[in-house]
């Protein structure tokens, strides 16, 4: 172990925030000299940043080695395995594709389900070989449309991906639980607050899925929770409770009414309360059925319009919708598209013109709240006209349901149906675990002989952790106005030793102390720069964020040095002769 001397360390700290920094972790990791931008979504790990990254890898590796075996696949992968599973097409523009000199297609691996599956197929053939769990820590590549927030969302990133292989669903459940427990141990050690929430499997496929979200006000993911029963889910995975059908016998017939100048929900509600008031209560947006048109772009190049019917008091949530229609991509339905589909009257679209069996042939999916027997005010497919009292199941039906409406604070908990409703918060996805089932095993014909000597398809699980993302995530939850405050286990060093002043005695004493701390097994960053003011050195030590700061300066004349706790700011003086023991006790608890 060597002393990291700041006079020669490949490091430059910055006083100003980088212009493209959007979140604290991005701002501080660049300013403190941990990372440098190469291009959008691509970063260089500088020496201190690489130390933090390697420390996080070590934690992940220690816990994973208890339940799994490590290997390493190449990042440059052939097209054929991904073509067999359909993901060569499904990934669309989200992967980097290239050809070799012979014209063969390759990709830079975004995930490695196919390679893990083929590796097991190549080596194992009997139920006696299972269960097995394999993992790797490797650089991945995805062509993010909008890379942002530094290493939180990049185009190149380090990920731990692991996969379990079992003979049956019962075995998968055990493997899943083992990974879940390992993830809890990993995230407990990384030093940030997190929640475990239900999640969508998305393009990965599979059934049961959970995310580990680091709580962060600026996180990209929104999740909801119920204080009554503990239910927690990413909003993409929230399912509206199924409503019982309402008997529509005796309900008045639907009627078309003139509603001039009412192309929006607000103008419609105002008009209805004035021209067609209810006898029991005022009309509200929740009484209306809003039909939103989008364009789906499929990976094979096909495009199709889709209409989503939601209660008028809710918007379509873009992320929920995107999760439901993957691998298709949602595009705006613009004026040119309306021109191609004259059966859609903008602002007055109604169910009569929708559905696979309708004249337009446009697929129509509705929110689960649009259940049989519910009555709605909606468009009449004619400019300036709406239908009042259109009853689902009597007057119209959809091609299916879709969970695409926004989830609101106060919504009824889908798990217990009690309490004061759902609460919302934001987080950063740090880990995702899936029960994949047989999707990839079937696509790649991974089978083993079972106990009866018959071929059976292997059941798989998939488990990911964003390792490089974890560096930023920990920074998001461990900083103050002065800089970073690393948890001790992942800090780039144990001690940041600062020599202040111009006296040679200070630098001699600090040099001796640095060597003694290193000999005691501690990693030391030693600010031995001459001609740099104490103020600059102090600011750098706080910006870099090592947990323990030791200052050799004016107190040396009295035979003492200062120990400072970076997180709490607490300071104390200790005799120089006792400094090594005192620092070791502080570092090692």
Residue-wise pLDDT tens digits, 160-188: 999 999 999 999 999 999 999 999 999 99
Reported as a single tens digit per residue, the pLDDT across 440-485 is: 999 999 999 999 999 999 999 999 999 999 999 999 989 999 999 9
In the chain, the N- to C-terminal Cα span, in Å, equals 21
In this predicted structure, what is the pLDDT of residue 205?
55
pLDDT mean across residues, the chain: 93
Instruction: Look at residue 169 and give its three-state secondary structure.
Output: helix
In this predicted structure, what is the pLDDT of residue 9?
96
Reported as a single tens digit per residue, the pLDDT across 47-83 is: 999 999 999 999 999 999 999 999 999 999 999 999 9
Q: Is the peptide bond between 509 and the residue preceding it cis, with omega within 30 degrees of 0? A: no
- pLDDT band at 228, cuts 50/70/90? confident
* Spatial CB neighbours of 361, under 8 Å, sequence gap ≥ 6: none
Residue tagged 């006209």 (tokens):
385
User: Per-residue pLDDT averaged across 128-157, rounded?
Assistant: 94
- pLDDT band at 418, cuts 50/70/90? confident
Residues 569 and 538: their CA atoms lie apart, in Å, by: 12
> pTM surpassing 0.85?
yes
List of E strands, 15-126? 35-39, 42-45, 69-70, 76-78, 97-99, 105-108
- pLDDT band at 202, cuts 50/70/90? low
List of E strands, 237-384? 255-258, 289-297, 303-311, 329-332, 363-366, 375-379
Structural domains in the chain, sorted by start: 24-73+110-223+425-476 (3.30.930.10), 255-401 (3.90.960.10), 493-588 (3.40.50.800)
């Amino acid at each position: 172990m060597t002393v990291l001397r700041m006079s020669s360390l490949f490091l430059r700290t910055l006083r100003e925030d980088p212009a493209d920094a959007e979140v604290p972790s991005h701002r501080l990791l660049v300013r403190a000299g941990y990372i440098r931008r190469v291009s959008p979504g691509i970063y260089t790990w500088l020496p201190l940043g690489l130390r933090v990254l390697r420390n996080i890898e070590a934690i992940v590796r220690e816990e994973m080695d208890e339940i799994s075996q490590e290997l390493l696949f190449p990042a440059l992968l052939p097209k054929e395995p991904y073509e067999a599973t359909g993901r060569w097409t499904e990934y669309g523009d989200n992967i980097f594709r290239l050809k070799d000199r012979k014209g063969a297609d390759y990709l830079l691996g975004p995930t490695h389900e196919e390679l893990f599956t083929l590796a097991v197929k190549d080596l194992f053939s009997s139920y006696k070989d299972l269960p097995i769990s394999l993992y790797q820590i490797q650089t991945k590549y995805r062509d993010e449309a909008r890379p942002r927030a530094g290493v939180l969302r990049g185009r190149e990133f380090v990920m731990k991906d692991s996969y379990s292989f079992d003979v049956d669903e019962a075995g998968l459940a055990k493997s899943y639980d083992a990974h879940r427990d390992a993830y809890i141990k990993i995230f407990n050690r990384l030093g940030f607050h997190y929640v475990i929430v239900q999640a969508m499997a998305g393009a990965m496929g599979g059934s049961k899925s959970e995310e580990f979200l680091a709580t962060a006000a600026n996180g990209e993911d929104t999740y909801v929770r119920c204080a009554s029963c503990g239910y927690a889910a990413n909003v993409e995975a929230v399912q509206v409770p199924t409503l019982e059908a309402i008997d529509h016998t005796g309900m008045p017939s639907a009627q078309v009414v003139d509603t001039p100048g009412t192309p929006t929900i607000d103008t419609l509600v105002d008009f209805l309360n004035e021209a067609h008031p209810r006898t029991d209560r005022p009309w509200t947006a929740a009484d209306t059925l809003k039909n939103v048109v989008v364009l789906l772009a499929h990976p094979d190049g096909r495009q199709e319009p889709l209409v989503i019917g939601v209660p008028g008091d809710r918007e379509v949530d873009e992320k929920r919708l995107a999760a439901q229609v993957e691998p298709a991509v949602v595009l705006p339905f613009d004026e040119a598209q309306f021109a191609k589909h004259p059966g859609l009257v903008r602002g007055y679209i109604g169910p009569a013109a929708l559905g696979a069996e309708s004249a337009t042939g446009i697929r129509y999916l509705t929110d689960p709240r649009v259940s049989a027997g519910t009555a709605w005010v909606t468009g009449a497919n004619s400019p300036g006209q709406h239908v009042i009292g259109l009853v689902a199941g009597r007057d119209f039906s959809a091609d299916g349901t879709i969970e695409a409406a926004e989830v609101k604070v106060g919504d009824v908990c889908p798990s217990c149906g009690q309490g004061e409703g759902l609460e919302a918060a934001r987080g950063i996805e740090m880990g995702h675990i899936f029960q994949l089932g047989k999707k990839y095993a079937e696509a790649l014909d991974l089978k083993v002989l079972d106990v009866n000597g018959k071929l059976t398809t292997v059941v798989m699980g998939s488990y990911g952790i964003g390792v490089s993302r974890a560096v930023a995530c920990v920074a998001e939850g461990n900083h103050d106005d002065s800089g970073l405050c690393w948890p001790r286990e992942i800090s780039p060093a144990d001690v940041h030793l600062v020599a202040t002043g111009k006296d040679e005695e200070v630098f001699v004493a600090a040099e001796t102390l640095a060597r003694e701390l290193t000999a005691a097994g501690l990693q030391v960053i030693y600010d031995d720069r001459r001609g740099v003011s104490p103020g600059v050195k102090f600011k750098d030590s706080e910006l870099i964020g090592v947990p323990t700061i030791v200052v050799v300066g004016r107190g040396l004349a009295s035979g003492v040095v200062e120990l400072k706790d970076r997180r709490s700011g607490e300071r104390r003086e200790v005799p120089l002769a006792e400094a090594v023991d005192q620092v070791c006790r502080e570092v090692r608890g």
